[in-house]
A and B are shown apart, each in its own frame.
Chain A
Amino acid sequence: MLHVRTLSGDDGFLRRVASGELHGSVHSLFDRTINIHCEENGELFTIACIELDNGPNTLVVDRKRFQNMGIAVNDPVSVKADSLIIGKALSLTWQHARQWECVLPVYPSSDQKLRENMAVIKEYVAAHGKSGGLKKASSPANVFEAEVSSLLIARTNELYHALAHGRWSEACEFAIGLVGLGPGLTPSGDDYLAGLFSVYHMPNAPCCLPYPFFEKFTRGAHQRTNEISYMMIKKAAIGHVRESMVRLLEAVVNGTPEEVVHSLGNVLGIGSSSGTDMAMGLISGLALQLEMGGNVCLSKS
């Protein structure tokens, strides 16, 4: 059995393993992640390789890859003798891991820098973002990709306008209509929503969305995408997104253009077009905040 050390991890996940409340099985396996289905709360938890960033329900360990380790889907997972045991192949310790918590930056009182950095992000995504999702390819690979891009653009526009006019019930329907749209493991529509929601959860954000919006959204989205992507948008709906997104928001709010470009580069590197789609969601969210400037603030309760 291979023993690996957890370097850092989501504080909730660390508390759960420390209390021994994690029994379940391997849900899915990739080169750089192992997803675990937890029997206690039905959620997915992720063991990620060292190259990946922290995220909700995620532990980052000191391995570069998980290929050919002798782990299979449905292998049992449990906590035994201060180790998280995955199948017969992997044992994880977490006692010296750095705790990570998703803390979104506070929306600034003066938006001058934010406006300047928004221009940087928009320009950079236009130049370096990956096409295939919200960023339409100049020559799509097939009619499916072309149609997906058209639908994404049309539906994100509808969502944007509904949010801009404070019609949250309609907006929620449009948001649900984006879930599962796109070919990837995390469909482009889901990635866009994760980026958008992260902005709406920034403390002091001038435009906010009421709790029932997210509650209704989470219920409506449940069966419309795969379990891995659903976990991402479920967490984003309560303001929990991965570390690279938090870093990008911090840079946009407080950083120099160089810092924005650096953080954005890390986000754009996620998945195939996932990072670009998330960044475009974040751009939409920030644009809404800047355009509305608090004039169309919705009730938080």
Chain B
Amino acid sequence: MSIKVVIKKSTYFDSVSLMSLSTKANQLPGVEQAVIAMGTEMNKEVLRNVGLLTAEVEEAKSSDLMIVVKAETEELCDKALAGIEELFSKKGETKGTSEIKYATIDSAAKSIPEANLAIISVNGAFAAREARKALENDLHVMLFSDNVSIEDEIALKKYAHEKGLLMMGPDCGTAIIGNVALCFGNAVRKGNIGIVAASGTGSQEVSVRIHDFGGGITQLIGTGGRDLSEQVGGIMMLDGIKALDEDEATKVIVLISKPPAPSVEEKVLAQVKQCKKPVVVYFIGGKEEAVAAAGGHFAKTSKEAALKAVVLAGANEDELNKRALNWPLIEEVRAKLTPEQKYIRGLFCGGTLCDEAMYSAMETFEDVYSNIQKNPDYKLKNLHESKAHTFLDMGDDDFTNGKPHPMIDPSLRIARFLQEAKDPSVGVIVMDFILGFGSHEDPVGVMLPAILEAKQLAEKEGRHLEILGYVMGTDLDTPKFEDQVNKLMAAGVTIASSSTNAGLLAREFVVKGA
């Protein structure tokens, strides 16, 4: 065994980051023990007790950060330390890894005259200024930053509109432009379907389903979550529809959003009416009549949106595997659950995936609670305790304040999962596992010990606990989609083939007396 130590002089990281780094460091290949802690006398004493004290550790001061790694060989130690360094650099995002660094957008635009898009992820206080600079340089903008005022958003979008540029965001986390996923996105086939979306994980899901049905994407244009509000008026969605309508490669357009403000919905549907191309409209929880009147194709679910899009784009519907609900499985699970096991608990990383599953449950049950419920009567008051059917968007600010997003740090979801698993009134726990750019490198792997623990606990108590998983990803994603699904199945998790099916299966599993 070999032990190696790095001491970072006068280095401070907040506790949440340190815990997250420490968890990841212990998962690095070849690492038997990894400790990241402040160099206090007490911590050094602990290291002595566990056989990790070295001369370097003894020298550390209480304001120094100690990184101690124990591994089989010296080489593995070095590798692990390099891996930890990489984690630290990822944490200090400003360091970046590009070969050339530009101090300003102006200098970057000057040096790369062929560039036509800028991704901006700076503090909200400066984001609007940087976005304006990019637009002034005739660059389309994807603005990842949030905390931009609505006045700035409107001004930027109006300016971009005048210049014929895209202003995606603020708070836009997903786009696929020229077959390249930006920020959070999945590896999907190039095709003839264009998407305009005000919903990040919703657009990821539709793009993944389109890929699964054999179709492909031309462009996925994000608008930012506030675009369809009364104040912003859907400026970006209207421009996005127009851009895709004029794009020769795009044959079908898909729109995705939570229900827009009524006046904005009218404007968007008026634009749909003008379109030369078929438009599929998926406004989560939306109504069919208005969409049909505008000549659009209404979709009630993300799967239906993808299916309609690929059929309109030329696929033969009869040849598609529509991944129908597995009714024999539903009957089998119903038979395993006791009459007391009547509730669903949904623990989601993706907001739209949570929303979709919640809406499915609301079609059958009344007592559906969530931190993102629109109905105040069913908005969860105590986030730490579930009530009846509960669906949690764990990526919402309610849970991420001061903590990393669950797509990156799963610890909060793991703890909540174990809590729900102990509740004898729970019949099914449903979870999403999001693959792709920007996500955790092994979202299933980190949940597996907890899943096995929960299964054992339920078995010991003589009840069946149904765990339903949905892996959102394609065969082109990293980590491998198939491996992630196989790991879940080996742990006794039932796999849903889409976000839509995850919601429907969860609902049907706990229907009693059907």
B97, CB-defined interface residue at 8 Å: no
Chain A nearest Cβ from B60, distance in angstroms: 11
CB-CB < 8 A to B419: which residues of A?
Answer: 127
**Count, A-B residue pairs, CB within 8 A:** 130
CB-CB < 8 A to B14: which residues of A?
Answer: 30-31, 185, 271
Q: Which residues of B are in contact with A by a Cβ distance under 8 Å? A: 12-16, 18-19, 22-23, 26, 33-38, 40-43, 45-47, 49-50, 52, 62-63, 68, 94, 122-126, 147, 382-384, 401-402, 415, 419, 449
Tell me which of B18, B123, B383 contacts A184 (CB under 8 A). B18
Which A residues between 150 and 190 are near B, CB-CB below 8 angstroms? 151, 177-187, 189
A95, CB-defined interface residue at 8 Å: no
CB-CB < 8 A to B41: which residues of A?
Answer: 180, 223-224
- Bound Cα distance from A28 to B17, whole angstroms: 15
Chain A nearest Cβ from B77, distance in angstroms: 15
Chain A nearest Cβ from B189, distance in angstroms: 36
- In the complex, per-residue mask of A114-156: 1 if CB is within 8 Å of any chain B CB, else 0: 0000000000000110101000000101111001100100000
Question: A141-B26, A189-B42, A224-B40 are known contacts. Are A147 and B12 too (CB-CB below 8 A)?
Answer: no
CB-CB < 8 A to A64: which residues of B?
Answer: 124, 147
Q: Which residues of A are in contact with B by a Cβ distance under 8 Å? A: 2, 28, 30-32, 51, 63-69, 127-128, 130, 132, 139, 141-144, 147-148, 151, 177-187, 189, 223-228, 261, 265, 269, 271-274
Whether B18 pairs with A269 at a CB distance below 8 angstroms is no
User: Which A-chain residue is minimally distant from B46 (CB atoms)?
Assistant: A147
Tell me which of B38, B40, B94 contacts A68 (CB under 8 A). B94
By Cβ-Cβ distance, the 9 closest A-B pairs, closest first, are A180-B40, A184-B15, A183-B37, A181-B42, A271-B15, A272-B15, A180-B42, A272-B19, A144-B35
Known: A127-B384, A151-B46. 15 other contacts (CB 8 A): A30-B12, A69-B125, A144-B35, A144-B68, A147-B50, A181-B40, A181-B42, A184-B38, A185-B38, A187-B40, A224-B42, A225-B40, A226-B12, A265-B383, A273-B15
- Bound Cα distance from A32 to B13, whole angstroms: 12
Whether A141 pairs with B402 at a CB distance below 8 angstroms is no
CB-CB < 8 A to A223: which residues of B?
Answer: 41, 62
- Bound Cα distance from A269 to B383, whole angstroms: 12
Whether A272 pairs with B147 at a CB distance below 8 angstroms is no
Whether A265 pairs with B384 at a CB distance below 8 angstroms is yes
User: Which B-chain residue is minimally distant from A151 (CB atoms)?
Assistant: B46
CB-CB < 8 A to B33: which residues of A?
Answer: 142-144
- Bound Cα distance from A85 to B147, whole angstroms: 23
Whether B401 pairs with A144 at a CB distance below 8 angstroms is no
Whether B42 pairs with A178 at a CB distance below 8 angstroms is yes
- Bound Cα distance from A185 to B52, whole angstroms: 20
Whether A181 pairs with B46 at a CB distance below 8 angstroms is yes
CB-CB < 8 A to A141: which residues of B?
Answer: 22-23, 26
- Bound Cα distance from A226 to B43, whole angstroms: 12
Tell me which of B12, B23, B123, B449 contacts A69 (CB under 8 A). B123
- Bound Cα distance from A183 to B124, whole angstroms: 31
